[in-house]
Amino acid sequence: MKQKFAVQLYTLRNECEQDFPGVLRELKQMGWAGVELAGLHSYSAEEIAEVLQETGLQTAGMHVSFLRLSSELESVLSEARRLNTTTLICPSVPHELRNEEGYQQFRNQLNDIAKDIQPDGFTLSFHNHAFEFETNVNGMNALEYILEPSADNAVLAEVDVYWVKHAGQDPAAFIRPYSHRMPTMHVKDMSNDERRTYAEIGTGVINFDPILIWGEQNAVAWYVVEQDVCQGNPMDCVKLSLTNLHRIAERLATNI
């Protein structure tokens, strides 16, 4: 399982802005297996691909805005090829589409894109927040609608377990319908206080044991740590999350 732990670089956006190659080298030394990209911070895909190859870090996927997916898909695919990934993830729903009709349009457009890129070996997933639970579409909440595990829905899941918990649901139960439909999963913890804010893995209230066991049994390729806001130094935060994930993985090894 340890070879499946990656960090979403939005967590380290300020650090990457200062020295993207240096961040990648430090993450590899820290013990991460991969990174999930969220922009290139003025570097070219070729430059970052070179550093990834140098360090041995793998690309766990790319977060790509709905606007870019809709308007410059060929450029996105070219970038992904250079960065050695076939996993594209739409990170959010545009504000103007966060209503019943908008979610229907959003799912239809994501499906068109997903089906367009399938012949070239690419997949398209959707990453959630908590607001999707606030709108119902066709008798289900908007997130379940977008990710509906039906034969005609080509949109895969990148469930963020923190946001599922934040919406009042049990993450381990919520992910069950997405067997073999979740190439990447977002893992972050929730603080054990009234703030219910972002926390390092293993320091909060989320029980990751059943989540990781399910992931190993249902074809999750990458467990991606994203901590939107860090209370301390972000590099220290991701190091603590990795240390605790390694401990969990070692403990679970005999159960999987």
Residues 129-145: pLDDT tens digits? 999 999 999 999 999 99
CA dihedral 213, 193, 30, 21 (to 10 degrees): 110
Give the model confidence (pLDDT) of 174-184 as tens digits. Answer: 999 999 999 99
Average pLDDT, the chain: 97
Give dist(CA 234, CA 211) in Å, integer: 24
Asked whether residue 138 is assigned to any structural domain, the reply reads no
**Cα–Cα distance between 56 and 139 in angstroms, integer?**
45
Domain that holds residue 62: 2-89+156-255
pLDDT of amino acid 255? 72
Give the pLDDT of residue 161: 98
Q: What is the mean pLDDT of residues 90-118?
A: 98
Let me know if residue 124 belongs to a domain: no
Q: Quick check: is 195 in a domain?
A: yes
| 182, part of any domain | yes
Number of domains in the chain: 1
Any domain includes 111:
no
Is 139 a member of any domain? Answer: no
Nearest to 38 by CA among 74, 70, 12: 12
**174 CA to centre of own chain:** 16
The fraction of the chain above a pLDDT of 70, given in percent, is 100
Give the model's confidence band at 153: pLDDT under 50 very low, under 70 low, under 90 confident, else very high: very high
pLDDT recorded at residue 135: 98
Confidence class for position 233, pLDDT limits 50, 70, 90: very high
What CATH number did the domain enclosing 211 receive?
A: 3.20.20.150
Strand 5-8 relative to strand 222-225: parallel, antiparallel, unpaired?
parallel
Which residue type is seen at 216? E
Does residue 116 lie in a domain region? no
Residues 220/185, Cβ–Cβ less than 8 Å: yes
Tokens representing 147?
A: 């990710």
Inter-residue contact 10 to 226 (CB < 8 Å): yes
Q: Which residues contact 222 (CB under 8 A, 6 or more apart)?
A: 4, 5, 6, 34, 36, 60, 61, 87, 183, 184, 185
Residue 23 belongs to a domain: yes
In this prediction, residue 254 has a pLDDT band, given cuts at 50, 70 and 90, of confident
Question: Is the Cβ–Cβ distance between 160 and 131 less than 8 Å?
Answer: no
Q: What pLDDT, on the 0 to 100 scale, is given for residue 256? A: 66
Cβ atoms of 130 and 166 closer than 8 Å: yes
